[in-house]
Structure 1
Amino acid sequence: MFGLIGHLTNLEHAQSIARHYGYEDYAGQGLDFWCAAPPQVVDEITVTSATGQTIQGLYVESCFLPEMLTNRRIKSAIRKILNAMACAQKRGIDITALGGFSSIVFENFNLKDKMQVRDVALDYSRFTTGNTHTAYISCRQVEQAAARIGIDLNSATVAVCGATGDIGSAVCRWLNAKTNVAELLLVARNQERLQALQGELGRGKILPLESALPLADIVVWVASMPKGVTISPERLRKPCLLIDGGYPKNLSTLVQSPGVFVLKGGIVEHALDIDWQIMHLIEMDVPSRQLFACFAEAMLLEFEQWHTNFSWGRNQITVEKMEQIGAASLKHGFQPLLNCESVAMSA
């Protein structure tokens, strides 16, 4: 059995979902209430592969909210993720994906050192961040969407924003090894990590965001949007492809201009309907078939019986691992989100 650990977008979203399901007492509660709420198994899932194989899974709502990522509430955020992992393990789940901010909290606060959660000794081989599949899908979206809107990768400049992160560095490795991208721009805040990545790749220009965006034919955004930062469409090239790999995915509302194409990054479509409710809660365009690639990684690991932390640790994703999970993805009926409405939504 596979598991998915997720969370809602913000406090307002959590309140609206509680109201939708008739929990009026919860809907009127503030952040302190959600900090105290325990994780809950809220959905049972059935997925059928393109091969005909069927698997079962559970969705664990962590009750974590991004507003908890403050100095005052960070202990609540850490507790939420660890408790959700313990909940999944106690249910006997073989492999569980840490969705959304769950993996970020885990990595940034070294939760691998927290082995014991009350009566549960966490077995980290049962968990995956899902970042390898997310990186693979993001790269395939770059390749396929660029061709759709007439951008030739052989002469294109690609800016990766969040280049030193787990997904961002993997995207850079793939573009460097598997494509003929003309120019690679590396954008991140940590200069030491940027220089290490540049040395590893043997190429790439290190630029600040404001300098990189006007030069880029394609922008792969795999970082959180810093407060106060805006993207001026007038300064972007036309055409320009924006792969929105952040969470929540809001570049389409922030950047609207003819010639600027925004695509929801790291999203896959399954060949068959999935029996679940959770994607309806986050308003996927086709919730019965569309999902986060990190969630799909747990499904793929269950289909293949690879019960191991396939994606784990910071900046450990290799091109070979991306190819491996990519082959499984195609085998079982997953494709990168590329519908024309999403690609052309800002045109």
Structure 2
Amino acid sequence: MFGLIGHLTSLEHAQQVAEALGYPEYANQGLDFWCAAPPQIVDHFHVTSVTGQIIEGKYVESCFLPEMLVNRRIKAAIRKILNAMALAQKADLNITALGGFSSIIFEEFNLKENKQVRNVELEFERFTTGNTHTAYIICRQLEQVSAQLGLDLSQATVAVCGATGDIGSAVCRWLDQKTDVAELLLIARNQERLQGLQAELGRGKIMELEEALPQADIIVWVASMPKGVEINPETLKKPCLIIDGGYPKNLGTQVQHPDVYVLKGGIVEHSLDIDWKIMEIVSMDIPSRQMFACFAEGILLEFEGWHTNFSWGRNQISVPKMEQIGEASLKHGFRPLLSW
């Protein structure tokens, strides 16, 4: 059996979902309550592969909210993720994917130093960030949608915002090794890491956001939006493809222009319906078929019996690993979301 650890997008969203799921005691509570709320297993479902294989999974709601990171509730956020992992392990889930901010918090705050959670010693091989499959899907979305729009990669400039992150650096490696993209623009806050990535790739221009975006035919956004920053679509190339790999995905509402195409990055569609409620909670267009690629990685690892932390650590994703998870993705009936 596999698991998925997730969270909701805001306090307001959490209150609405609590009411819908039958937790009225959570529905009218403020941030202090959610900081103390324990993780819950709120969904139990089955997934069928196009091969005919059927597996069983559970969804663990961590009760983490993004507001905890901006309201000096870092300790609460850390506790949320560790407690959710402990609950997944106690439920004897073979492999569990850390969705959304769960994996970011784990890496950013070095939670591998916190193996003991009350009476549970975490076995990290039971967990995966799902970032390898997410990076693979974003790259396939870029390749396929750019072709639909008539953007020739051999003449295109691609800007990667968040280039030094786990997913961003993997996307850069794929673009460098698997495509003939003409120009690669590298954007991130940490200049030392940017220079290290540039040296590894042997290419790429390090640029500031405001300078890079107007030059890009394709923008891969896999970073958090800096406070106060807005993208003016009038300054972008036309046509321009933006792949929004962040969470929550909000660039589609912020950047609106008939010649700027904003795609929800890192989303996959399954060939068969899944009997779960969780994708309705996050407002997927087709909740019985669509999901985050990081969650799909957990599903794929269970299908294949790869009960190991396939994606783990910072900037460890290689192109061969992306190809490996990509082959499993196709085998079991997943495909990148290509509509906007």
CA deviations 1:221-266 (Å, max 9, x no partner) are 0001111000000000000000000010010100001200010000
The CA deviation at 1:17 is 1.0
* 1:129 has 2:129 as partner: yes
Greater displacement, 68-77 / 31-40: 68-77
* 1:253 has 2:236 as partner: no
Letter in 1 for 2:272: L
The CA deviation at 1:150 is 1.0
The CA deviation at 1:112 is 0.2
The CA deviation at 1:18 is 1.7
CA distance in 1 between partners of 2:176 and 2:265 (Å): 19
Secondary structure of the 1:279 match is: helix
Letter in 2 for 1:331: K
Tell me the equivalent position of 2:34. Answer: 34
Tell me the equivalent position of 2:53. Answer: 53
Tell me the equivalent position of 2:305. Answer: 305
Identity %: 76
With normalisation by structure 1, the TM-score equals 0.97
Secondary structure of the 2:4 match is: strand
Matches within 5 A, 1:188-267: 188-267=188-267
CA distance in 1 between partners of 2:266 and 2:212 (Å): 22
CA distance in 2 between partners of 1:131 and 1:40 (Å): 24
Tell me the equivalent position of 1:345. Answer: none
Off by >2 Å, runs of 4+ in structure 1: 19-25
CA distance in 1 between partners of 2:27 and 2:123 (Å): 34
CA distance in 2 between partners of 1:22 and 1:42 (Å): 10
CA deviations 1:155-197 (Å, max 9, x no partner) are 0000000000000000000000000000000000000000000
Taking a change above 3 Å as real, the CA distance of residues 200 and 98 of structure 1, as seen in their structure-2 partners, is same
Tell me the equivalent position of 1:79. Answer: 79
Secondary structure of the 1:300 match is: helix
CA distance in 1 between partners of 2:22 and 2:124 (Å): 36
With normalisation by structure 2, the TM-score equals 0.99
CA distance in 2 between partners of 1:22 and 1:205 (Å): 51
Tell me the equivalent position of 1:290. Answer: 290
Matched residues, number? 340
The CA deviation at 1:71 is 6.3
Q: Unpaired runs of 5+ in structure 1? A: 343-347
The CA deviation at 1:19 is 2.3
CA distance in 2 between partners of 1:176 and 1:66 (Å): 33
CA RMSD of aligned residues (A): 0.8
CA distance in 1 between partners of 2:153 and 2:69 (Å): 38
Letter in 1 for 2:242: L
Letter in 1 for 2:147: A
CA distance in 1 between partners of 2:69 and 2:50 (Å): 39
CA distance in 1 between partners of 2:24 and 2:275 (Å): 27
Taking a change above 3 Å as real, the CA distance of residues 126 and 77 of structure 1, as seen in their structure-2 partners, is same
The CA deviation at 1:22 is 4.3
